Structure 1
Amino acid sequence: MIIYSVTINIDETVETEWVQWMKKTHIPDVMNTGKFISCRFSKLVSHKEEGSANYSAQYTCHSRHDLEDYQQNFAQELQQKSLEKFADKMHAFRTELEIIEDFYSVLS
């Protein structure tokens, strides 16, 4: 399995609007491509910059092929919509991770 991680720095002046847009529009649009099986949307709490906040959207897919298909056929259009809406108020970088092992903790 592959994790496609997008880390975003968002200006605090649009943070609330952006979070709602991510939850109601962007993440559903990415998931509706059919290339991912889950998404975890998180706020980074250990790294803070004055005037902005950092978030992470981690999309999980079954294979490298699914991720490459997403990147070739969907990513550019969806990223462009983000830039049109939030322009210079956000900066993003993307990383790809291969899951080696899942460990689960069961509390009794």
Structure 2
Amino acid sequence: MLIFNTTYLVSDKARASWLVWVREQHIPFMLESGYFSQPQVARVITSAEQEGTSFSVQFHVNDMRALKQWNQEFNSIFKEKCDQEFGTEVIFFTTVLDIVE
């Protein structure tokens, strides 16, 4: 089992609408793809000065094969939806975590 993590830096201006988008559009989109489960949204706690707020959105995925398949089928749609909705107000990067315990 893996965790597919996306870390977002959300501008103060976009924060409220981004949270609604994650809850009402992004999480359902990811779950409906059939590859992910157990969504979680968390605010990243940091002592560094930054503009905006960082959030982590995580989903469980069975294995790398499933994640690669999702990337081929849906990743460009995911990026396009985020860019269309928020432009430069939201930036993000993804990481994959291997659950060891």
Q: Structure 1 83/47 Cα, relative in aligned 2: closer, same or farther at 3 Å? A: farther
Residue 30 of structure 2 is aligned to residue 2 of structure 1: no
Higher Cα Rg, which structure: 1
Instruction: Give TM-score scaled by structure 2 length.
Output: 0.92
Q: Using the TM superposition, give the Cα deviation of residue 99 of structure 1 relative to its aligned residue in structure 2, in angstroms.
A: 1.1
Q: Structure 1 76/11 Cα, relative in aligned 2: closer, same or farther at 3 Å? A: same
| Equivalent residue, structure 2, for 1:89 | 89
Q: How do 1:74-85 residues align onto structure 2 when only pairs under 5 Å count?
A: 74-85=74-85
Q: Using the TM superposition, give the Cα deviation of residue 28 of structure 1 relative to its aligned residue in structure 2, in angstroms.
A: 0.9
Tell which deviates more after alignment, 38-47 or 24-33: 38-47
**In the aligned structure 2, how far is the partner of 1:48 from the partner of 1:18?**
22
| Equivalent residue, structure 2, for 1:69 | 69
Q: Using the TM superposition, give the Cα deviation of residue 5 of structure 1 relative to its aligned residue in structure 2, in angstroms.
A: 0.6
Instruction: Give TM-score scaled by structure 1 length.
Output: 0.87
| Equivalent residue, structure 2, for 1:18 | 18
Percent of residue pairs bearing the same amino acid type? 23
Whether the aligned pair in 2 keeps the contact of 1:48 and 1:54 (CA below 8 Å) is no
Whether the aligned pair in 2 keeps the contact of 1:9 and 1:54 (CA below 8 Å) is yes
Per-residue displacement from partner, 1:1-41 (whole Å, max 9, x unpaired)?
01111000010001001101111111111111000121111
Whether the aligned pair in 1 keeps the contact of 2:14 and 2:90 (CA below 8 Å) is no
Q: CA RMSD in A?
A: 1.3
| Equivalent residue, structure 2, for 1:104 | none
SS in 2 for 1:12: coil
Gaps of 5+ in 2: none
Residue 29 of structure 2 is aligned to residue 29 of structure 1: yes
Whether the aligned pair in 2 keeps the contact of 1:39 and 1:60 (CA below 8 Å) is yes
SS in 1 for 2:36: coil
